[in-house]
Chain A
Amino acid sequence: MYDFSYHNPDSVAGAVSAMNKAEDGKFVAGGQTMLPTMKHRLASPSDIIVLGGIAELSGITVDGDSISIGAMTTHAEVAASSDVQAMIPALAALAANIGDPAVRNCGTIGGSVANNDPAADYPAAVIALGATVKTSKREISADDFFTGMFETALEEDELITAISFPKADAAAYMKFENPASRYAIVGVFVAKTGDDVRVGITGATPCAHRGMRLEGVLNSNFSGDALESVEIPVDKMNADIHASAEYRAHLVKVMTRRAVAACS
């Protein structure tokens, strides 16, 4: 790890101010990606601005038909929340299966969504549930938030304060795990609200995205059989030593079918 300046602000405004003063600052939420990267000397921020001391970033609140989860809420807290379990059990289940206990007790929803790892779990849920990402500056819809591999709509000095998830009638997340890292090789989150079906896909491509072709079919026939006709474009898929593009494309359909089955 290289040397850096350490900031521990107690307000969002303080965090933003520290970022604006830093030469090459980084917000650190749970640090589950950032700190290993720094330890391996692959990142060398001049300043790290730790968000753990900002009370306004924590907590889970129910607001009518949606649930707002503070950015610094850990995966373990989301998994254990009776409100999340009651309103969107698939989201609680997703959080319960991220990483290992150490990661779940440190890693946060805001950190995961802001980092936008191509194989992270939360982006699939944010997309499929049509969540709203609340930031220090604005509100960003899920469809506009994830812009590329490790890229989001966030500006340099903008940080996520909370994510608001509308309740779905039925939802399920199916994850095909990388046997080594246990990240998603393919993760598919299916959410059904009224007649509207949304599919969020992670792991398969460089950036989590909506499965528009799958949604198109499922909107008219919400069943696994309907998926057989869908062509998943192999050339858009990621490929690595764990899964080829062809296999990932196949898994997208299998995981979607299983998620649909779990919804019904």
Chain B
Amino acid sequence: MATNGIGVSVRRKEDKRFLIGKGNYTDDINVVGQTYAIFVRSPHAHATINNIDTTDAEAAAGVVAVFTGDDLAADGIAPLICGVTVTSDDGEPHRAPAHPALAQGKVNYVGDHVAIVIAETLAQAKDAAEKVEVDYGILPAVTDTASAADEGQQQIHEAAPNNICFNWPLGDKQAVEAAFASAHKISTLDLVNNRMVTNPMEPRAALGEYNTGTEEITLHLTTQNPHLHRLVLSAFNQLAPEHKLRIVSTDVGGGFGAKIFIYAEELVVGWACRKVNRPVKWTSDRTEAFLSDAHGRDHVTSAEMALDEDGKFLAMRVMTRANVGAYLSTFGTMVPSYLYAFLFAGQYTTPLIYSEVKAVFTNTAPVDASRGAGRPEATFLLERLVDVAAADMGLDPVEIRRRNFIPVDAFPYQTPVVQCYDSGDYNAALDKALALADYDGFGARAEEAKSRGMLRGIGLSSYVEACGIAPSAAVGQLGAGVGLWESAQVRFNPTGNVQVFTGAHSNGQGHETTFAQLITELLGVPIEDVEVIHGDTAKTQFGMGTYGSRSLAVGGVAIAKACEKLIAKGKKIAAHALEAAEGDIEFADGNFTIAGTDKAMNIAEVAFNAYVPHSYPEGLEPGFDENAFFDPLNFSFPAGTHVCEVEVDPDTGVVEIIKYSAVDDFGKLINPMIVEGQVHGGIAHGVGQALLEGCRYDSEGQLITASFMDYAMPRADNVPNFDIDYAPTNPPDNPLGVKGCGEAGAIAAPPAVINAITNALGVKHIDMPATPENVWRAAQGAA
């Protein structure tokens, strides 16, 4: 095995530049002649714009230009798009009101974009922005998810009657009703999946440059998917032809989904740099990030489970209202539909599932994917409902799960909600997790805590996630506007070192290391001789970017496929040089060897021969540089069981997580250290949702939690040391045997934490975030 190949916790190659301050983030880039942009944003959640007077702003010191929606429209710039169609129950596509990048006569949330002010300095831009006079006609705001579609509500968009985006049913309603009618027991649960602000550490930014000579726009962006940005900005927004638009996104300081989408600021900056023929830079401040980054979650749900007398799940029914915000973000329709309801089977054999999702518009920031995206919402309701059902049946939460698990010999397993799971051994993960958590010893620990006046609780979450979204044909049938494959180019230089161009993207996940390990493993090239390149449409071939825990499961396989092509070509070159038949050449550990002999040629020598083909196989192209595209046959389905143990202080309601044990099936691990880091971060994200994070608008649509003073992110002292282990299975559809790992923690943790709290208090449910006051009140009620 290669020294730094698959399964080795290689230290991250990229960390040196991050640690010594040599990362190249968008805001780090400054160019000659650069101007600064500020967006004038709506202070009102819902208002008509009667007039915009830019006279004073244009006359202010240092101002280069002030533009409004009319200027964009006059240049033929088209509104922002939503890329996935969901068909509503009336057979019509979802309602998609126009989403202009700068407002056209109306604003629909606080932070909505009204104008851009461009000036010589940032301070001058800010000063001038205050001089843009906007005459608003204030309208009542709709902010509440549950009631947004009620009779008599204020209408937000003409194109969306009753504020409904879509009403999307899935499953056999009659069959589910029949199963409920004859059930032994029906367990019910009403819950809220709290709205979150994703808050990557680096705020969004855009720097546009226009070259009058080449007529090319270069747009430096904080994006997770540069080619997707280029495609949408070109094909849909009419910014510039694809070959005249370059998107650069070298280092990105965290995305977690929030940097997938094509945002107004990005389009407007790209357009404005050509308009003023000067570089234009915009960097979001944290307040703007809170106001205008796409938010996550925000569901109100009623769920029911029908059980037989043995506690077997007979049928499940879910009714959800999902807030999509004021406008549809790029994937705003997909998250509360396909990424949500397709996961309702979880780890269980529930034969019948019916759901309806009513997506509603509100006067709040657009809602889209945030780490997990739909799957945390599905898992939270399912794993909470299973605990409620266990209590209703008088069964231990472990026992009811075991009785309903999909058995290990049933894979591939076709669920009643579209997905066909690739592989899994749910009991294996559960067993390991219970051992890790010392589940059997919980009673004694609870007694000891009680002697100190504290309430201990333990909670499980047995989750499935679907990641590495695929295949293209399937997502196309569902209404996606893009394919979901991935690309790679593996290029040997004549001196034998390797550049890997990936269509995936790293926002800090460590792909430069993980992908280099693949090259080391597959081609035997030392890891220090491998450079992974991403994030520049002028350097890399078209690729789909990073989201949905797909980079390794899809992009890694594309790299492996390119490696296979190199090996096949290398055999021809080596056979020629070694004067052997191609069929006699074997490749291992970087060497092409004549089978059964010690005559060998290193792959670096082969590469040199390919570029200096003085003596070379006849008819073979020179060069040692191969690309590959991989379109998977299926999603990958990581799964596992997480166990959370908490101690609740009944006097204050403070919850402390005492112990957190996670056992996941991610298939084969390439770099266990990086995987562990992803699991840690994911759990912290999930703990944040469960205990701390709650994005709140008031009834007038003002964002109350618009800074870290009021929006609580998880910090180191909110989480314990995690106990982590793995129960891998081999996904047959993935050539590398890998699954995704980036979202698992964020998906599994919220129900594990809440199940532990409800267990500690002896209550049926508590909504997230389980703040001290909420827990204290629940404890009062339970006492």
Residue ranges of A at the interface with B (Cβ–Cβ < 8 Å)? 1, 40-41, 176, 178-181, 183, 241-244, 247, 250-251, 254
- Using a CB-CB cutoff of 8 Å, which residues 696-734 of chain B contact chain A? 696, 704-705, 708-713
Some 29 contacts from A to B, beta carbons below 8 A apart, are: A1-B123, A41-B126, A176-B772, A178-B712, A179-B691, A179-B712, A179-B771, A180-B692, A180-B708, A180-B709, A180-B710, A180-B711, A181-B709, A181-B710, A183-B709, A241-B696, A241-B704, A241-B705, A241-B710, A242-B710, A242-B771, A242-B773, A243-B772, A244-B773, A247-B772, A247-B773, A250-B776, A251-B652, A254-B651
Which of A181, A241, A244, A254 lies at the interface centre, i.e. has the most chain B CB atoms within 10 A of its CB?
A: A241
List residues of chain A with CB within 8 A of the CB of B771: 179, 242
List residues of chain B with CB within 8 A of the CB of A242: 710, 771, 773
State whether A176 touches B652 (Cβ < 8 A): yes
Scoring B residues 204 to 222 as 1 if CB is less than 8 Å from chain A, else 0, what string do you get?
0000000000000000000
State whether B126 touches A247 (Cβ < 8 A): no
Are A181 and B708 CB-contacts (below 8 A) given A1-B123, A41-B126? yes
Find the A residue at minimum CB distance from B776: A247
Measured CA separation A74–B705 after assembly (Å): 30
Find the A residue at minimum CB distance from B708: A180
B616 to chain A, nearest CB (A): 63
List residues of chain A with CB within 8 A of the CB of B711: 180
Find the A residue at minimum CB distance from B127: A2
A120 to chain B, nearest CB (A): 13
Measured CA separation A86–B713 after assembly (Å): 36
Measured CA separation A251–B126 after assembly (Å): 42
Find the B residue at minimum CB distance from A244: B773
User: Considering only CB atoms and an 8 Å cut-off, how many residues of chain B contact the other chain?
Assistant: 22
Are A179 and B123 CB-contacts (below 8 A) given A241-B704, A243-B773, A250-B776? no
List residues of chain B with CB within 8 A of the CB of A41: 126
Measured CA separation A41–B772 after assembly (Å): 33
Residue ranges of B at the interface with A (Cβ–Cβ < 8 Å)? 123, 126, 287, 651-652, 691-692, 694, 696, 704-705, 708-713, 771-773, 776-777
- 10 additional A-B pairs beyond A178-B712, A180-B711, beta carbons within 8 Å, are A1-B123, A41-B126, A180-B708, A180-B709, A180-B713, A242-B710, A242-B771, A243-B772, A254-B651, A254-B652
State whether B692 touches A179 (Cβ < 8 A): yes
Find the A residue at minimum CB distance from B774: A247
List residues of chain A with CB within 8 A of the CB of B704: 241
Which of A179, A180, A254 lies at the interface centre, i.e. has the most chain B CB atoms within 10 A of its CB?
A: A179
B436 to chain A, nearest CB (A): 28
List residues of chain A with CB within 8 A of the CB of B713: 180
Which of B287, B651, B696 lies at the interface centre, i.e. has the most chain A CB atoms within 10 A of its CB?
A: B651
B753 to chain A, nearest CB (A): 14
Measured CA separation A121–B705 after assembly (Å): 23
B44 to chain A, nearest CB (A): 19
Measured CA separation A180–B692 after assembly (Å): 8
The 6 A-B residue pairs whose C-beta atoms are closest, nearest first, are A180-B712, A179-B712, A181-B709, A247-B773, A254-B651, A180-B710
List residues of chain A with CB within 8 A of the CB of B710: 180-181, 241-242
List residues of chain A with CB within 8 A of the CB of B773: 242-244, 247
List residues of chain B with CB within 8 A of the CB of A183: 709
Measured CA separation A181–B712 after assembly (Å): 7
Measured CA separation A254–B772 after assembly (Å): 13
Measured CA separation A251–B773 after assembly (Å): 10
List residues of chain B with CB within 8 A of the CB of A254: 651-652
Measured CA separation A250–B654 after assembly (Å): 14
List residues of chain A with CB within 8 A of the CB of B708: 180-181
List residues of chain A with CB within 8 A of the CB of B712: 178-180
Measured CA separation A250–B652 after assembly (Å): 8
List residues of chain A with CB within 8 A of the CB of B287: 40
Measured CA separation A236–B688 after assembly (Å): 31
Measured CA separation A254–B773 after assembly (Å): 13
Find the B residue at minimum CB distance from A176: B652
List residues of chain A with CB within 8 A of the CB of B709: 180-181, 183
List residues of chain B with CB within 8 A of the CB of A247: 772-773, 776-777
A183 to chain B, nearest CB (A): 8
Measured CA separation A183–B692 after assembly (Å): 15
Find the A residue at minimum CB distance from B773: A247
Measured CA separation A178–B709 after assembly (Å): 9
Find the A residue at minimum CB distance from B653: A247
List residues of chain B with CB within 8 A of the CB of A1: 123
Measured CA separation A224–B150 after assembly (Å): 51
Which of B696, B713, B776 lies at the interface centre, i.e. has the most chain A CB atoms within 10 A of its CB?
A: B776
B702 to chain A, nearest CB (A): 12
Find the A residue at minimum CB distance from B130: A41
A17 to chain B, nearest CB (A): 29
Measured CA separation A207–B63 after assembly (Å): 44
Measured CA separation A257–B771 after assembly (Å): 22
List residues of chain B with CB within 8 A of the CB of A244: 773
A258 to chain B, nearest CB (A): 9
